[in-house]
């Protein structure tokens, strides 16, 4: 007898014997959402979609959370593979993705993701009650109708997938901003869309936001919705998301309108020479007067000091430190009250450090997660080239706006000692346990 059959019998007996309404609701939901209670766990699920298909991402991420094996079909070519008679038998419209199961095909990306999520009742994406289930469905519908539709109406015509009409684009952007405003308000007091952990609603929401963040929603656009920003980057840096989505870079500019241009005539040689690529302008920090502090030397000293840290590394830091060529900054996370899950908080910090990679040549940082009980506090110390926080970092790394920044006064011995403690991961720090410490070097 296969596992699904046994689970079905157990849940049926539990439903008959359970007296509490909450348990009845949950058990009924589990039974009703087993797409086939007699389906064995070792079945083959094949997803027909091209690589990089964001609608396929919904299913692949859900599969990572549930432990269901889903295989992406080999050598799928959009526009060819989905026009074959075999594919059209699975989905007569020819759209992707399609999931091939032992019981027959399933099309429509949200339905496929639901199917994969519900194959195993005992998995992190399962909800606890009918009201939670309803809220998940609510946010899936919202994500599809208010977020996805408007992002596609904005990006699609610009990519050549439809007629570009400026007034239609303006209407789509206006509707999208209204939807993001509602989402931002909800996320102001919620880490996830429903409950205290990732649900299918989060997976589908992120996959729909993905298109906007990558192709149209620049930093200047998303800065109006800081809680949505924080939510998106927190989610995409979760291991199960990152495994499927990879590293994501937010759009620097809106995708330009793709208009077919006439064939270019051969250019005169002189014109070609005039249009030769110019050298990349230097970073303004490279134009500062030379500093006696060599950042790489400090980073090596920090990394190689294993004992007597105060006497070797800390003393070495202050011997090297150049207050004219560098500045020290404390940062404190503005929304510590939301840090109620330790691993999410630590992932949030990891994501910040990942996005700070552009500053590696000009900065050194320590980030601490503090507290033995939630909510956890996030505090940091940063060494930057120059006397101010470099503007290019502020422009490119959205996390900077999520922290309060204060320049260190090294003439104040208490602030100087705080710097020492943060560099050496002193515990307790400011009277609290040190949950985690991460270094940017």
The full set of domain ranges for the chain reads: 3-118, 138-245, 286-440
What is the percentage of the chain residues whose pLDDT exceeds 90? 67
Section 153-170 average pLDDT = 90
Residue 6 has pLDDT above 70, yes or no: no
Model confidence pLDDT, tens digit, residues 29-42: 444 444 444 344 45
Residue 278 has pLDDT above 60, yes or no: no
Buried b (16+ CB within 10 A) or exposed e, 4-15: beebbeebeeee
332 C-beta neighbours (distance < 10 Å), count: 13
Are the CB atoms for 248 and 210 separated by under 8 Å?
A: yes
Domains 138-245 and 286-440 share a fold: no
Chain length of the chain? 441
Q: What's residue 259's pLDDT?
A: 58
Q: Tokens for 329, please give them.
A: 């900054």
Q: What's residue 122's pLDDT?
A: 79
Residue 61 has pLDDT above 90, yes or no: yes
Q: How far apart are CA 64 and CA 202, in angstroms?
A: 14
Looking at the structure, give the CATH architecture of the domain made up of residues 3-118. Answer: 3-Layer(aba) Sandwich (3.40)
* Helix or strand holding residue 107 (H, E): strand 104-107
Are the CB atoms for 378 and 299 separated by under 8 Å?
A: no
Q: Which fold has domain 138-245?
A: Glutathione S-transferase Yfyf (Class Pi); Chain A, domain 2 (1.20.1050)
Q: What's residue 283's pLDDT?
A: 84
Extended beta strands in 285-433, E state: 326-333, 363-370, 377-385, 403-407
Q: How far apart are CA 174 and CA 224, in angstroms?
A: 13
Q: How far apart are CA 63 and CA 52, in angstroms?
A: 16
User: What's the whole-number average pLDDT of the chain?
Assistant: 85
Q: How far apart are CA 300 and CA 83, in angstroms?
A: 57
Model confidence pLDDT, tens digit, residues 19-28: 444 444 444 4
Section 362-367 average pLDDT = 96
* 372 contacts: CB under 8 Å, gap ≥ 6: 432, 433, 435
* 191 contacts: CB under 8 Å, gap ≥ 6: 231, 234, 338, 340, 341, 344
Looking at the structure, give the CATH architecture of the domain made up of residues 286-440. Answer: 2-Layer Sandwich (3.30)
Q: Indicate the pTM of the whole model.
A: 0.56
410: phi then psi, degrees, rounded to nearest 5: -75, -10
Q: How far apart are CA 77 and CA 75, in angstroms?
A: 6
């Amino acid at each position: 007898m296969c596992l699904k059959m046994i689970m079905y019998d157990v849940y049926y007996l539990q439903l008959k014997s359970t007296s509490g309404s909450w348990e009845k609701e949950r058990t009924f939901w589990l039974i009703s959402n087993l797409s086939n209670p007699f389906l064995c766990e070792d079945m083959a699920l094949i997803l027909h979609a091209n690589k990089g298909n964001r609608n396929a991402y919904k299913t692949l991420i859900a599969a990572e959370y549930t432990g269901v094996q889903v295989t992406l079909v080999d050598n799928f070519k959009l526009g060819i593979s989905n026009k074959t008679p075999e594919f059209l038998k699975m989905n007569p419209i020819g759209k992707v993705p399609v999931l091939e199961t032992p019981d027959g095909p399933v099309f429509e990306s949200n339905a496929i993701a639901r199917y994969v999520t519900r194959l195993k009742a005992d998995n992190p994406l399962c909800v606890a009650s009918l009201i939670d289930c309803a809220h998940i469905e609510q946010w899936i519908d919202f994500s599809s109708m208010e977020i996805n539709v408007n992002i596609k109406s904005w990006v699609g015509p610009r990519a050549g997938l439809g007629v570009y009409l400026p007034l239609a684009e303006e209407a789509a952007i206006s509707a999208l901003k209204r939807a993001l405003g509602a989402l931002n308000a909800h996320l102001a007091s919620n880490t996830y869309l429903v409950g205290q952990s990732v649900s299918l609603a989060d997976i589908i929401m992120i996959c729909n936001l993905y298109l906007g963040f990558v192709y149209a929603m620049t930093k200047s656009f998303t800065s109006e919705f800081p809680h949505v920003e924080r939510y998106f980057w927190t989610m995409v840096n979760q291991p199960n998301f990152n495994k499927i989505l990879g590293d994501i870079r937010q759009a620097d500019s809106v995708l330009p309108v793709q208009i077919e241009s006439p064939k270019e005539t051969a250019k005169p040689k002189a014109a070609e020479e005039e249009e030769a690529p110019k050298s990349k302008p230097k970073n303004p920090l490279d134009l500062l007067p030379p500093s006696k502090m060599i950042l790489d030397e400090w980073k090596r000293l920090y990394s190689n000091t294993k004992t007597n840290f105060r006497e070797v590394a800390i003393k070495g830091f202050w011997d090297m430190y150049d207050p004219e060529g560098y500045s020290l900054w404390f940062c404190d996370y503005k929304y510590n009250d939301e840090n109620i899950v330790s691993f999410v908080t630590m992932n949030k910090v990891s994501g910040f450090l990942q996005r700070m990679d552009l500053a590696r040549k000009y900065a050194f940082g320590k980030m601490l997660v503090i507290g033995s009980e939630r909510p956890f506090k996030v505090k940091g110390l940063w060494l930057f080239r120059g006397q101010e926080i470099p503007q290019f970092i502020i422009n490119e790394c959205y996390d900077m706006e999520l922290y309060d920044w204060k320049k260190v006064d090294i003439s104040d011995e208490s602030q100087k000692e705080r710097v020492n403690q943060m560099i050496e991961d002193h515990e307790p720090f400011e009277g609290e346990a040190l949950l985690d410490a991460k270094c940017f070097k």
